[in-house]
Amino acid sequence: MMEKYSLLLKKMKEKGKVAVAFSGGVDSSLVAYVAKQAGIESLLITLTSPLFPSYELKMAKEIASQLKIPHVIFRHSFHAEIAKNDVRRCYYCKTHEAKLWKEIAKKHGFNVVADGSNFDDLQDKKRPGVKAASEQGIWHPLAEAKITKKEARNMAKKLGLKIWNKPSNACLASRIAYGEEITLKKLKMVEEAEDFLRAISPQIRVRFHKSIARIEVPIEKMNDVLKREKEIVAYLKKLGFIYVTLDLEGDRSGSMHEEIKNSTFNFLTILI
C-alpha cells in the first residue's frame, strides 16, 4: 500500500503546483495531505451550496486548518438542470462544479485541479459525476495511482489523519428520489433530519420520497433507531414528513438507483 503512496507523492511533486477540490472527506483530505507532504504550493477549494450539508462544511474548515493549507470557500446556487432531478443530475452538477473549480484555481494562479476520486470511483458506472469531472480536465491522482477506496482509508489511518474513519457521504440532492423537483425546503428537511439522527449513528441517510422519510443506517444501528422511534417520528413529522420508515437493507450508497432499475419501490421498510 505504501508503494502506492510513494507513487502518489511522486506524481504530486511532478505537478509542482496543485489546487484540490476539497470536500473534507477522506479521499480529498488524503490528496490535500499528500500535496502538503510533497512540498508543493497548494490550495484547497470548497464549493458550498444548499446541496452541501453545513455539517460537512464545518468539517472541511477544521481539516483545512489542521493541514495548514490556504482554503477558499465559494458559495454558489444550483441551477434548473439540477433542480429537475433527472438521472443525469450528478453529471450536470459535477460539470458545473468542475468549471467553478478551474475558474477559482486560475484566479489564484493554479492550472491543475485535483479531486479525491479513487480507483473504485472510476470503475463505478453509477458515478456520472466522475465522468463529468474527467471531461473537464480534473486530475484524479488517487485513481491514477490505482488506490481504491479501502486503500485510501487505510492509508489515511496509517498517515495519522484524524478523519480516516469519517463516514462517506454525498450531497443532499442524492437523498431525493429521481423525478422529484429539488427545492430548498426539501433539502432543509433532509439536512435537519440527518443532523437529528446523527446522534444515533454517524453513518446516516434520510431518503426523501414525496411525503416519506426512508431512514438508512447500518444494520447494527437499527435497534438504536427503534428504541427512539416515538422521538424520531415526532421530530421528522414536525419537519414536514408524513410517514417515517426504516429501510431494512440498511445504509448503502446509490440506493436511489435501485428505484430506477426496478421501476417500482422495492425496499423493505418498517413503518415506525
Domain locations in the chain as residue ranges: 2-158, 172-271
From CA 117, how far away is CA 133, in angstroms rounded? 9
DSSP 4-63: HHHHHHHHHHHH-EEEEE--SSHHHHHHHHHHHHTT-EEEEEEEE-TTS-HHHHHHHHHH
**What is the model's pLDDT at position 183?**
96
**What is the model's pLDDT at position 66?**
94
**What is the model's pLDDT at position 168?**
84
The whole model's pTM is what?
A: 0.88
φ, ψ dihedrals at 103, nearest 5°: -65, -45
Q: Which CATH class is domain 2-158?
A: alpha beta
**What is the model's pLDDT at position 63?**
95
Largest CA distance in the chain: 57
How would CATH label the architecture of 172-271?
2-Layer Sandwich (3.30)
Q: Partners of 72 in the beta sheet?
A: 45
In the block, which residue shows the cell 432543509? 188
**What is the model's pLDDT at position 167?**
87
One digit per residue, the tens of pLDDT, for the chain of length 272 reads 789 999 999 999 999 999 999 999 999 999 999 999 999 999 999 999 999 999 899 999 999 999 999 999 999 988 888 999 998 999 999 999 999 999 999 999 999 999 999 999 988 777 789 999 999 999 999 999 999 999 999 999 999 999 999 988 889 999 999 999 999 999 999 999 999 999 999 999 999 999 999 999 999 999 999 999 999 999 999 999 999 999 999 887 655 555 545 544 443 344 44
Q: Which three cell numbers stand for residue 121?
A: 470511483
